[in-house]
Amino acid sequence: MLTIGEVSDRFGIAQHILRYWEKRFPQLRPLKRSGNRRYYRPDDVALVERIDRLLNHDGYTVKGVQKLLAGKGDEGAAPDAAPAPDPAPALTPAMRSELRQLRDELAAALAD
Are 13 and 4 a contacting pair, CB within 8 Å? no
| 34-59 confidence digits (pLDDT tens) | 888 999 999 999 999 999 999 998 88
d(CA 91, CA 73): 39
- Domains of the chain as residue ranges with CATH: 2-72 (1.10.1660.10)
| 43-99 confidence digits (pLDDT tens) | 999 999 999 999 998 889 999 999 998 885 444 444 445 555 555 567 788 888 898
Amino acid at 93: P
The beta strand positions in 31-106, using DSSP E, are 31-33, 37-40
Strands 2-3 vs 31-33: parallel, antiparallel or unpaired: unpaired
Are 83 and 65 a contacting pair, CB within 8 Å? no
